[in-house]
Structures are given as C-alpha cells and as structure tokens.
Amino acid sequence: MTIYDTYDRIEIEITSNCNARCSGCSRTLNGETNPQLTVADLTVEDFIARVPAEALHKKSIEFCGVFGDAIMHKNLIPIIEYINSTKPLRVSIDTNGGVQKPEFWKKLAQLGVKVTFSVDGHRETNHLYRVNTNFDIILRNMKAYADGGGWGNWEYIAFDHNEHEIEAARLEAERLNFDFNVRRNSRNTHEGYKSVAKVKENGKVVKKEIEIKQTSKEYQHSQVKETEFELNDEAVQKLVDIKCLYYHDRKLYLGFDGRLWPCCYFGDLYNGQGNPQIIGKDANKYEFLSFEKIRKLDKKYGVGWNSILNYSWEEILGHEYYNKVLPGTFNSNGSNFSTDDVVPKCALKCRKGGSIREVERQFFTKPEENVYEKDYIFDKNMYDK
Ligand SMILES: C[S@@+](CC[C@H](N)C(=O)[O-])C[C@H]1O[C@@H](n2cnc3c(N)ncnc32)[C@H](O)[C@@H]1O
Ligand code: SF4
Ligand code: SF4
C-alpha cells in the first residue's frame, strides 16, 4: 500500500480566479473580489512537474474548489490532456460556464470531461446570484459542449428570487440533453444576505442590491437548522462520530496554492473563512479558532509543510499531521486524542457520521415531490465509461 492508495477522488482548485462574484462565495466581499484574497493559479508547468501520474491514475479528478473557477485558467486544456495521459477514472468540472469560446467547450467534451454547470436561474435571474455572468453566453457554451458530444449536468441552486425559473431551466436542460438537479442553498438560509447584481434599468446597466434567501419549505431539508447549530466547547471536546472526507470518504483536496488538505473546508479556512482580515465582522469564534489551529501548523512544521511545490506527495501524506495528529482528533475517547489539536470545523461539518454534509448537498431532482436523492456525484458508477 502506498500513500496514493489512501484516496479515490481528488478535488482540485486549479485557480482562485473567477469571472463571477457570487455573493455567497468565499471570494466575494460586498459585491467585489475580497481585496485580501490571493488570486493565483497552479501553473501547467508546476502541475506537470509536481503532480505525479500515480496521484491521478484511476482517480476521480474533480475540478471545483472554494475560491475560483477552472475555466479562468489559461492552460486548463493542456492540464487535462496531462491528466488524461495518466488514465484517471474520470475528470469533471464544476463551473459557472460564463467564459471561453465555443471551441474550448467542444474540446472539453472531446476530452471526455463531465461538466456540471452551476447555473442558478434562466435568462431573467441567473446573474442575480452569479453576478457578472451572461446567460446567453453560458447557453452558447452549454450548446457547444453538448454539440461536441458532452453530457452535462445543470445544477440549479434554488433561491426565492429564481424559483419561478426552475421549470424554464429544466426544459432548457432537456433540450440540451443534460441532467438537471435542483440544489439547496447551503449558506445563510435563515437570514438572507445581499448580492450586488448588475441589472438593466431603462436601458442602462446599474448596480442593485438583491436579497438572497431560500425560505421555501419545498427546498429546505427538515434538518436544515442543524447545519446552522451553535458549536459549544463541550461539542468540540466530545468528538466520537466524525466522518472525514479524506479518512473515511477517501477524498483529497489540492488548493490553488499547492497545499494538500484533507478537505475543501481546511483550504477555505487557511485562505479565507475564519480569518478576520478576510471575513471581517462575520468572523465567528469557532471559525476563527479553526483558522488559528490550521495556521499554527505553519509555525510547528514550517510554512509550506503541506505544499506540493515544496514537498513530495509521500512526504506530505506521510507526515505526522496526516498519520497521527489529525485522525487523533476524531475520537475523544482515543489514546491519541488531544483537545489542543481539535479543529472545531470538524465538529461543525463532519459530526453525526457526516450526515450534516449530506444535508448541505441535498438535491431535489423532483422538487414537486420533495424527494431526497442521494448525492449522485458520490455514485461511483455514474460517470464510468
Ligand atoms: C466555490 S464554487 C467553485 C466552482 C465553480 N466556480 C462553481 O461555482 O461551480 C464550489 C461550489 O459551491 C457552490 N455554491 C456557490 N454558492 C452556493 C450557495 N449559496 N449554496 C450552496 N452551494 C453554493 C457552487 O455552485 C459550486 O458547486
Ligand atoms: S462562480 Fe464559483 S468561484 Fe466564482 S464566485 Fe461563484 S461560487 Fe465563487
Ligand atoms: S472538516 Fe475535519 S473531519 Fe471534516 S473533512 Fe475536513 S478534516 Fe475531515
């Protein structure tokens, strides 16, 4: 067994750059790119030099991430060609679909890439959350991908402002021969938050604040409140039922800065969530504590201790943090348990055997029946050729 046998899937954030400014995204602050965010790419040269074939072979390669959109990377196609040469299980991208020429989309289809289009509305509403995107360009790109033989998936986050366009989008997806899934908003379902959208008024484009909410019961899970629970010190110290994405679900995360993490939550914490400089007044005690715990690892192990730009995959995944420290935090009755090492985020997202994560990624393929379909992305056979 090698360290490459410890995971089946890897999520890659190839860039922190994005054409859109979705208000619920970690990269956006008051309608603009957060000025504190580092905007950078993993270059094609570094990717080929630092990601060995064994890291990709027979794996599910999932371009998604926290801060960016893969279609903004200038060399995505050569990176995918390199990945394909290693014979992965499959390659997929989650994207807003709003940039690049039709030829690019056709090429993605020809390379066998499965694309999930994150499009939360039809012509009237998508740009209200997916700020800066243009529906007609997205539709053109979807068509080019479909014409190239691509089988796409349209993922539609339902909000109060776009519920009335779900049917139009569903029909559009049918015309494209795409799958169609309605997804729940997992950010601030109770309070709502503002999107600074660009809209046309009297023939002029103006900036307008739009309230982003999802209040319809139809699109809420009965346990939605549980995802918003208040952590307390006791919950943090009593961890027994953690289901970790890496250790239990065998999924790894590579960030735009080359850092390998057990999950996107840690990548997000390191560069954003929890850092008061990034999220300002919204910093909450446990997010901040989580951020501090993760940043402290740099002090203990040296800055860049988990970056593929500095170390080999064997050195990183074989590191004591991965081998001993982190898994030691998952069971407060275990011999390696130390409260000092616990990252509260683990309790927040992964307690109750990971069921909280499942609630957050709930899909309603048949909203009229409010049917909970298990996350299809986790279905291993779905994309197999
Ligand atoms: C940060 S994005 C990165 C990938 C790509 N830029 C995109 O948007 O698909 C990662 C995931 O977050 C999702 N997302 C964005 N806003 C969301 C929200 N309010 N609730 C739930 N998921 C959201 C996106 O749809 C995407 O699936
Ligand atoms: S498209 Fe994705 S990365 Fe870009 S702002 Fe929206 S959620 Fe964030
Ligand atoms: S938050 Fe903690 S338990 Fe959850 S996936 Fe990340 S490292 Fe694992």
| pLDDT (mean) for 361-366 | 56
Please report the pLDDT score of residue 361 as a whole number: 62
Å from CA of 139 to ligand 2 middle:
17
Q: What is the pTM of this model?
A: 0.92
- Report the nearest atom of ligand 1 relative to the CA of 117: 9
Q: Which ligand is nearest to the CA of 264?
A: 3
Q: Which ligand is nearest to the CA of 19?
A: 2
Whether residue 371 is predicted with pLDDT greater than 70 in this model: the reply is no
Q: Which ligand is nearest to the CA of 345?
A: 3
Distance CA 51, CA 56 (A): 8
Nearest CA to ligand 3 atom 7: 262
Q: What is the pLDDT of residues 210-232, one digit of tens each?
A: 988 888 777 765 555 544 455 56
Nearest CA to ligand 1 atom 7: 95
Whether residue 186 is predicted with pLDDT greater than 80 in this model: the reply is no
| pLDDT (mean) for 163-184 | 94
Q: What is the pLDDT of residues 125-148, one digit of tens each?
A: 999 999 999 999 999 999 999 999
Whether residue 366 is predicted with pLDDT greater than 60 in this model: the reply is no
- The order of strands in the sheet holding 260-261 is 260-261, 251-254, 9-12, 60-63, 90-95, 114-118, 153-158, 179-184, 363-364
Q: What is the pLDDT of residues 279-338, one digit of tens each?
A: 666 667 788 888 899 999 999 999 999 999 999 999 999 999 999 999 988 888 888 788
Q: Which residues' Cβ are closer than 6 Å to ligand 3?
A: 242, 244-246, 262-263, 265-266, 343, 345-346, 349-350
Residue 6: C-alpha distances to residues 42, 122, 136 (Å) = 23, 41, 42
Å from CA of 243 to ligand 3 middle:
7
Q: Is 118 in the pocket of ligand 1 (CB under 6 A)?
A: yes
Nearest CA to ligand 2 atom 8: 25
Å from CA of 47 to ligand 3 middle:
25
The chain-wide mean pLDDT, for the chain, equals 86
Nearest to 29 by CA among 207, 362, 272: 272
Please report the pLDDT score of residue 379 as a whole number: 32
Q: Which ligand is nearest to the CA of 290?
A: 3
The segment with the largest mean pLDDT, out of 36-45, 176-185, 196-205, is 36-45
Q: Which has more pLDDT, 86 or 365?
A: 86
